[in-house]
Structures are given as C-alpha cells and as structure tokens.
Structure 1
Amino acid sequence: MQVVARRANLFAVIAVIAIVAFLVMTATTWYALTSNADNGKLLPSDLTASLLVGTLVPALTILVLFGRRMALRRAQESIGGTGLMHVRLVFLFSLISAIPTLLVVVFASWLFQSGVEFWFSDSSRGLLENANKLALGYYDQARRDVGYQTVAMAQDTRIMLNENAVASPTFQAFLADAVLRRNLSMAAIVQVDADGKQRTPIIVDPDRKGQEQRITKDELAQLDRGEPMATASNANRIVAVAPIERERGIYLYTARASDLLALSQGQRAENIVQAYEVLTNRARVLQLRFNVALFIASLVLVGLSIWFALRFADRQVKPLYELVDAARRVGAGNYALRLEGRTGADEIGLLNRAFNRMTAQIDKQTQDLLSANRELHERSVFIEAVLESVTSGIVSLDAAGEVLLMNSMAQKLLSQPGAEVEFVGRHLAEVAPQIAAVVEQGNAGGLVQYSRGGDLLTLAVKTSRDVTGHVITFEDITRQLLDQRTAAWSDVARRIAHEIKNPLTPIQLATERLSRRYRKQITDNPELFEDLTRTIIRQVGDLRKMVDEFSSFARLPKPVFRAEDPVALTRQALFLQEIARPDIEFEFASDSELGSIDCDRHQFGQAMTNVLKNAVEAIEAKAAQIGEGYRGLIAVAVDGLPGSARVRIRDNGIGLSQDRERIIEPYVTTREKGTGLGLAIVNKIIEEHGGEMTFLPAVGGGTEVVMRFATDPLLATRKPEAIDV
C-alpha cells in the first residue's frame, strides 16, 4: 500500500480533495447563513453542527498535510532523507490533538445551540410577552379607573356648581367627600382663560403633596377634540382631566398616588421584553461568532500541536540524523569521526556509544590495513622500478594466456610505431603470436623474429611457469647480433687488409719495373704489353682502395668532438656534390635557429658524403632504367629536435630493396661494384655521435635517409648507472 500510495502520489490527491471540500463547505455555510438572514431565526443545531464539522474536517486535513510537508522539508534539509519518522511523529501528534478537538467542538456547538434554542424559543418569548401584557394591563386599568372616576366626579361637580357657589361650605364638603369616596389623592377645579392662563379656584389635597396644577396643551387639545377625559402618569401618580363646562374653560383636575411596585414591575417587564427582542435579533450574530470562534480555536489548537510535534520530532530525530550523517561520513572514509552528542543512559546514548566503539575499531583496523597497503605499495613501487629499469621485456600471463602485466620495455618492443594499444587483458597470440608459439610449445626459451614498423627484430625469449600462468622475458638482441656481425666483419676486414695489402706494393712495383724495363724491348705487339701492365697497375690500385676501405671500417678512429655548425658542414658536403653533378637538381633547407653541436668535423662530413654518394648512385640507376626525360632530385633538410640535430636526405632514385633492414650491415650492397661498407661506416659514425639512422620510402618514389646527431654525444652514449637496490 505504501508503494502504491507513493507511486500514485496519494497525499497530493488527498490535499486536492481537502481543498475542494473546504471551499465547497465554506460556500455552503455562507449560503445557509445568508439565505435565512432576513427572518431573524436561528439555524437548527444539527445543521449548525454539520456545517461546522464539514468545514472543520477538511481544514484540519489541510493543516495536517501542511505539517507533513514541513516535516518532510525539515528532514530533507537536515540530511536529505525521506523524513518518515518526522512525518509519523507529526501525524501522531496531529491525530492526538485533532480528534479530541473535533469531538469537543461538536459537543460545544451542540450545547451552545441547545441553550440558545431553549432561551430564545417561542415558549420563552410567549412567557415574557404574557408577563409584560399582565403588568401593562394592570397599569392601564388603574389609569382608566382614575379617568372614569374623574368623569363621574366632573358630572357631579357640574350639578353641584349649578346649585352652590365654589366658595360655599357645601361645595367644599362635597368636593372633599368625593375625593375620599373615589380614592383620589387630590382634586382641583381649574379654569383656563382665553389667553391660556390657568387659575385654581378650589383644591382638595388631604396629603398636602400637591403642586401647582398645570393642564398640558396636549391634554387640552385632547379634550377639545371631544374626548371625555385625558389621563397621564408618571412614577408618582396618575392624573386625569375631565371638562366641567367646556365653553367656560372649567375643568376638573384629579390625581391618585401611583402604585410604585406595579409601575416598576410593568416598566421592568417592558424593559425585559425589549432586551429580549434585542438579544433575539443578535442571536444569529452570536451563533455565527461562537461557531467561528470554535473553528479558529480548533485550528489554532491543532496548529500549535503540529508546531510542538515538529519541535519534538526535531529534538527526537536530530540525534538519528546526526548518526546517519556520521555513518555516511564514515562510509566516505572518515574513520576518526566520533559523536559528541547525547551519550546518556537512554537508547540514543547507547546507540551513540556503540557507534563510537565501532568507528574506533574500524579506525584501528583501517590504520593497520593502510600500513599493510603502504608496505605493499612500497614493494610494488620497488618491483615496478626494478621492472622498468630492466632492459628486457617482461610479460605475465594467466592460465588462459591473457596478459596480466607488461613493463614499458615489453610494450615498446611489441607495439607498432605511432599506435597506442592496450595489451593488458588481451591474449598473447593477438599481441605477439611468435612468442605465444614458444609458450604453447612448452619450450623454456628460444629466438623469434618479430616485425615492428618494417624492422625485423630478433628477440631472445625465456619462459617460466608459476601458479597463475607464465612469466615471459625477452630481449632485443638485434643490435647485439648486428654488432657481432660488425665485429666479425671488422676482424675479417682487418685480416683481409693485412693479408692483401702486403703483396700489393711488390706487385705494383714489379709491374711498373717490367713496364719501364721491357716496354722498349717488346717489338711484337707492344700495345698489348702496355695494356696488360696498365691493367695490372689499375687493378692493384682498386685493390688498394678496397683495402683502405677495409682498414677504415676495421679501425675507424675515435671521434674528436668540438662545437661545430651542422648546417655549415652539411652545406659543404652538398656543395661538393653540386659541383661534381650539375645534371642533378639539389635542394637545401635549414632551421635558422639551430645552434651548434659537439661532433667530429671529418667524420660528420664523411657520413654526409657517403649518404649523398649513395643517393647519386640511386639516381644514376633509375636514370639508366628510364632514360631520357628523367631528372634526379636530392633534397637536404637540417632541423633541430630536443637534444639532437636531424639531417634528412631525400632522393627520387631507384628506392630501397626488400631487405632494407640489412642495408647497414657490412658487405651488403645492391650495386655490382662496391664493398658494401659505406653505409656501415656511416652507421658506425652516427652511433659514435649518440644518434641513429633510419631509412624510409620517399613519397613519389625514392629513399629518405634520416640521421640524428646528439647535441652532446658524450652524455647520450654514456651508460646508465646501476640502480642502487
């Protein structure tokens, strides 16, 4: 259910439903209040409670969901986690506060509505109205009685006045007796003149509480309209005026002392009725205010509970977040971390202490592992240094024949020039099938031929088996074999030069003596004799030149290094060829910023001359093949490289032979005439100068010879010191 709720975003759906329900209930409540506002009646208690609960439930739901969102945000800001514990604590506190609050609100609303309905019901209103009517009826009856008594007394007084004068004792006795018999407090005859002045000819006031009597204009107007009497009342008495003779303006003015208790009860009843009417009109407002107060108080109470829940959750969950963060940092490698928070006797303190013990143990074990790894690393670095310092190639194979380890010398020997190949993880048969064949045959070693960039290398291979596979060591002995052949040829050349050079001089001298002595004595075909002697002398000269080359190759003197300009030396050698062969086109280019190098001036020029002569001979050979229309070209370029000077000589001659890797070996030549020692001498000179010589096919045909001379030959040819192990 949790997975389904998370995928469906259930809380978002509940939030939308709660917001819609709150808006609908708010609109419904507003309509219910405004639709019955004109009649002044209260809403029924069940309807009011339903509206309050229906509005409060979605509002509380929105508030609880807001608290959940705040808990999630605080949790994510703290450690970036899910905040489930925050949500659970906040939800628990929300339920604890929301459910009792909702029940209390429902009970308080129902209780308030019941009380309001009781006090403002129709029966309560009728009771007050009947009491008020009773009090007012009693008071009206007293006023009417005084009025009727006054009318009857006025009629009797009119009769008495027709028979007696006002000042007569009989009339006075009559008036006093009438006051007593009719239960009046006083009586007076008032005459109103035409100008409105009032006179009182006679007055009966037993209690002597009378005051100057005044008949008001309203009372006179009421009597003038033909009414039999006019009454008035105040807190002290009830007065009445009745006409005795309207034409003459004579009126009877009577008064009776008021019943103060009855009057006060009547007024009080009247005031209560009026106050009840006011309360009845304000009952709807009070009803609305009370329900709004309950609504707001409920939201405030639940909001405070959620706020307290957030604070409480922060306090309770913060140590766990700190522990999670510490665990992550320990997982990242900080094993020296220790928690400094709660370490008391509660569960959090117990967990923190256990965590600190764990990190201490991990830290100690890690230090031990680091120490062991450091030692292994030092051994590995030592082994790698030894392997890198070894001039032999070393390859480690697993049981399947795949490469596990290969030192830089092995990569250099097995990789093709200009290609970057990853050997580790590949099968040895893909890298070096010749060496793989030695391993598969189970031989302990052997010699293999390996082609690298057009050069055929001779590798001396040794194999040994271990628990994981094979360890193969091999060394490039091509140079050693070449040096051995060169040394052998040097010895042969020295022996040939020694054995041949000794008889050459006597042969030449004897031939010259025969020519001088017997040239004039030969009469039979003397030209033939001269040709034969010249041929012998010429062949002896050719043999002497060959012997000189043998001697030069066998005993090449040690170079004497001085600072020389390689551009000038190359230009001099090229100039001699330009003078000798005007039929060939020569080009020259050089680096203007190239400085001097340490070299033997004579040997440097000899090397340039030999290579240029080979280029000229290659052009002559191609000219012999093509014939007319062909023009030879020799391009010479001198530039600098880091720590060396480079001379490139390119021709468009006949090109290289198939076995060009043997072209620098002694007595290897492609010409009919020649000893094959020229390039061997050049290669030896370049090696003495700490450089190397390579042969490449030129673009468009021909050959390009690249010679590199070290700037400091002594440093370049110095043997590396032994590594102190």
Structure 2
Amino acid sequence: MPSIVETLRTRTHSAAAWLNKHTQLVAMRLRTILNQVGDDEQPGLDPGKLMVRVGLVTVVLSLISALLTFLILTGLTPIVPRPEVVVGALFLNVSLIIAMIIIVASQISGLVRAWREKVAGARLHIRIVGLFSLIAALPAILLAIAATVSFARSLDNWFSDRVRAIIDNSVDVARTYVAEHSQVIRTDIVNMTRDVNAAADEVSKDPKRLKEVILSQAALRDLPSAFLIDNAGKRELTALEDQKLPFTLPTPAAIHEAEAGQIPLSVSMRDHRISAIAKLDAFPGKYLYVSRGISPTVLRHLDQTERNAAEYTALRRARGGLKWAHGLMYLTISMTALLAAIWAGMWFAGRFVAPIRRLIAAAQEVSTGNLQVALPEKRGEGDLRRLSQTFNTMTRELKHQRDALVTANEQLEIRRRFMEAVLSGVSAGVIGLDSQDRITLVSRSACELLGVEQDDLVGKPFTVALPELAQVLEKSNEPNLKARPQEQISTVVEGEERTYAVRITHEKAGDQDVGSVVTFDDVTELVVAQRTSAWADVARRIAHEIKNPLTPIQLSAERLRRKYGERIEGDRETFNKLTETIERQAGHIKGMVDEFAAFARMPKPEMNPTDVRDAVQEAVLLFREAHPNIEYPLEIPRAPISSLLDRRLISQAVTNLVKNATEAIETAAQSGDKPADWHGRVTTRVRPESDRVHIEVIDNGTGLPRQNRTRLLEPYVTTKGHKGTGLGLAMVQKITEQHGGTLTLEDAACVTGEDTTGAVVRITLPLQESPHKTAESGGSPNTTDQTESPATTSG
C-alpha cells in the first residue's frame, strides 16, 4: 500500500527535476543569443534590436512561468495550489504565450510582406523559418501528446478498481487486527467487571480485598495494567501497572460513555496500547480502567495505511482536475517551446539569410554595371564570410578586367574613328566580312554607291544582302587562285544601271581565314567615257574612210542623170528612179557621216552670258512649225535665267531631245495602241533653283526601256532600229558634261503623277554668273509661266 503513493510522488519529483533542468538549459541558450544580438546586425526583415530583446525576455519569462506553475501544481513549493493561485498562474502563462504569438505573428507578417514585395532573400528566409518551425513543432506536439496520453493512462492504471481493492483490503486487514485486540480487551473487561461486582460483599467487609480481586482478575486475563478510577478520571487504585506503558487518563467522553453503560475503547498510537473503561455497578462512581500493549509496527502500518488510503481517495476524486492541470501544464510548456523555437528560427534565419540577401543585392548592382560594390566581411558568419570574400575578389577582378577592356575598347574606338575618317575620304566602297562571310563593316561610300542603309547590311550574309557581288566572292574562294580577282559587274541601283569594279582581299591568321575585305568603286562614268572615246575614234575613221568615196558617187549619179537622162527613151522612168535612189542614199550616208564627224569633233563650248530661256525657245520653235499635229507647250519663268554657257550647243542638245520625243510620239501613234482622242504632246520646262537650272523635255510617247536605260547615253545604242544612229543622247550627254551638268532619264509618270506612258529627259546645269556682269532679275526666279504654242493658242 505505501509503495503506490511513494511511486507517484517519486515520478512527480522526477518530472519536476527534468523540467527544471531543460528550462535552465533553454534560458542559458537564450541568454547567449541575447548577448550576441547586441553585436550582430539584424536583417532588414526583423523588427529591430528592441523587438529581438523583447522576444527573448518574453521567452525566458514564459519558460520560468511554466516551471513555477508545474512546481506549484505538484506541491513542491511552499505556495499552496489554491484555485485562485492556479488560475493566476495559468493566466500569466497564457498572457506570455499571447505576447509571444503577437511577436512571432508580426515577424511572420513582415516576412510575408517582404515575399510579396519580392525582396531579395525573402523566399529563402520563409523557407528556413518554416523548416525550423516544422522541426520544432513536430517534436513538441508529439511530446505533448505522448506525455498527456501517458499521464492519463498512468492515472487510469493507478486509480483502477484492482488498485483500489488492494488499498481497501490493506486497510481492512490492519483494522481487523486492531478490532480483534479491541474485542479481546472488551471481553476481558466485561468479565472482569462482572467478577469484581460479584466480590462487592466481600470487599465491603474488607476494603483491602478490592485490590487483590482486581489484581487477580487482571492476572487471570493477562492484562498488563488495571486501575480503579472515579468519575473525574482520578486514579484511586492501581492494581497492576506496566512500567513500560505510561498511564494516560481516559477522556471525559469515554467516562461519560461508561457511565451510560457502554464500554468505550481507545487506541493510543503514541503509547502503542489499547484501553477500555467500564462502570462498576457494585461500586457507585467507580470505573474499571484496563489497557494492553499493541505491536508498534502494526499500529504504525495501520496509521500509514489509513492516511495513504485517505490520500488515494482524495486523488481519485480529483483525477479529472489533475488531468486538466497536467494537460494545461504540458500545453503551456509545448507552446512556449514551440514559439521559442519559431522565434529562434527566425533569428537564425535572419542571420543566415542576411549575407545571402546582401550578396543578391550586390549581384544586382553588378548586373547594372556597378563593380564598386563590396560585401562586408563579418566575423562569425563562417562559410558565408568566405562567400563574401570570394564575391569581393570576383568584383575586384571583374573591375580590373573591365578597366582593361575599357582601355582596349577606347584604343579600338580611336582606331575605328581613324579608319572611318580614312574610309570617309575614300570614294570607293569598303565592306568587311567575318570568317562566315557575314557583313561586319560598311563604309559610308559603300552605302551611297549601293543606295542602301548601313543597318540593312550589317550582320547579314554577304551572298544574301548583295547577291550581285557574290560571284566575285565565290571566285576568290577558289583554291587554285593565285592573284586577287577583280571584276566589273553591272547592277541596277535606284532604277539606274551602274557598273562597279570589285576586288576582294582575304585576311588570314596563319592558315585560317578570319575574314575578307570587299572594295568596289562606281566606274559607270569611266566605262561610258571609255566607250565614248572609243566610238569617237571609230566615228572619226568612219567619217574619213566613207566621206572620200561618197562625193564621187553622188556626183557620178548626178552626171548620169543629166547626161543620159534625155537619151534613154525606152525605160527613162526606171533610170531616173534608180539615180534618185543613189543620190538619196548617198545623201543619207553623208548625213550619217556628218553626224559621225560632229560627234568625233565635238567642239569645246564657248562660255558666254546667255539667257537659258532663249536657247530653249530657239529649239522648240523649229518643231512647232514642222509638226503642227503635236503640241509643244513651253513652261519657262518670266524672269531671265542668265548663265555662262554655249548657246549653240545647249540649243543643239535641246533640239536633239525634242527630236527624240517627237519621234517617240510618231512611233506611238503608228503602233495603234493609243485611244482615238489621244494627242501627242512634248512639254519643255525650265525650272531654276538657287544654284542650278533644270531643262526637262516630257513626252507621252512610247517611253524608255526599263532595262539598261543608262546604256542609251552611250554612242550607237538606240531603240529606233535602222532609223537612228544612237548618237543623239550621246551628244547631249557630252554637251551636258562639258557644261558641268548631269543628264537624267526618267519615266513621265514619276514626274507628272499621271498614269501615262512617255519619258522625261532632264538636263541639270549649274548657274554660273559672268565675272563682269550680273544677270538682272525682274522677279522671283522660281515663278513660272506656262506659255502655249501658237498652234495651241490658235485652236
């Protein structure tokens, strides 16, 4: 029986000692952390040093409060666990836990806000806090559940019916032993009282005989003590007295019960004896008081058994409250440990994430080009400090390399600007290629010659961007080629056929081809000049070789017709027709020879101050009279346009252009493709500008060919078949060049904006004033007046 209660008390003390030990360890750890907080930089996501200290103090107070509550509930303190004490302790614990929840919740809200704002390191911070919380929560929850279930089952086992039966039986056994002694002494005192009352007559005769009677009766019943007392409890006669048992007067209540005829019994745990008192009816006011010793061990066991049984009963009745008390105790400790672990996890996560967050922020700065950033190398960060050192070393190396690259780029930029300056002064186009034949460099001259923008070429394959030049590149890649190839190619640029001289040079690094340089120049004018010069020489020789026999042929035909024309009577008409044909063809050949001679001996222009309008009007008036069925509008400004030029040559050039336009209209009319209401029209327009003047001849005839249009400016190139010699535009081109101007061939639709056929030939001449006389201007040089031909005005 005593072992059960002792076991409960021992386990309770062990639990208290365990809780005290681990609470001290937690407090020491938190104290160490608190000392470190003052020297460590807090992460930006934590509330600050003050909030950290408040959290630590709250954790320590919560652990101390939980420990005190446990000690009070187990009765290990002088404080009696009264209801108001228990309620106050629980209220204090709950208040501290709520404070911890508020602190942790504020930090968690800060973490979530930082995660939503995508602060660097926030997601890693949340993961570490979650991991710490999980590691701390699972053991605490499992321990609380296991401790609660174990404690409840232990209580159920200790307060089971079997244990209760054992305790009750133990009490019954001890009480049966005492009851047996009580019954024996009751029987003895009843018999002894009867016998003493029976000897009353004998005692009345001899009062001394009373002592002997009581002594003999006590000896007969093995009673160690027998006394005769009065109703006041005063001992009157001591018949037998055990010196080992001190005499104890009976209580007045016991005497009162004996007076009523009862036999009260009393057990003295201190004196280790059982006493009984009975009234002697034969002796009024006298009581027999006897006692017998009981084993001290039995009495002690009886007392302990009864007290343990009473304590067991009290604990059994308070079992539900005990479960709740221990449940709240475990819950308080678990919540405190959990919140402390979460807070410690946040603090450690902050210390762990802070260097990583600084590294992320620094990396972002580096990504923007700021290599001056450096991470603080703090002691106590372990490998993270080495990470900061490595990052700082990396940024220093990157800065050094960037400075070197910047210096190299500056030198390259200087060289590039020098090369651009050199290339900008070179009229030839230059294109740079890499090893994959992609365009890497295009000079300004190349863009101007090709009529493209630089962005349209750079980065593209050479064969795709400029397929016209690709054939030269393919030839240059032939393995057996010894000399650098140079070829002339023709291509259409902005509607005009141009001729380029192309040369490709390969760059090699050892045996490896690292790129190529393509150089080309526009040699269109040079080719035309060479052809013109060659044709001029041919024309000179033709004029010399043909003109010598041409005159005798023509004279012979005339003499034959005059001398034999009247003598032939049979077929005179045929004879005349043949001689006329010879004369006419000789005249035609002579005209061609004259054109050859004129082209071959083109005189140098004699520059004199001339009004451009007069030279143009002189040429147009001839065709108005010769071709009345064609309109010849003349658009010239009112103000004179004076310039240094050769009036005869300019008039000849305009005459050739109007003649070509007239012939084109006649060809279009003969083709039958024009509508019935179509009329030929040749418009001559003079448009002065600030430093030049444009002479345009616009017709609505057959127009110009789209291919090889610029070849029309070369000698002996014509679209008229056998009707023309191909020298007209060549002579106009030569006259224009002699005056420092340009000759342009366009479609009429591009100038007039109308959907019509026809051509526009434009002579552009620079305005050169006489050094002795300045041309007078009677109005704005840009004011034009459209004057019509006499045929048009006459209706």
TM-score (norm 1): 0.48
TM-score (norm 2): 0.45
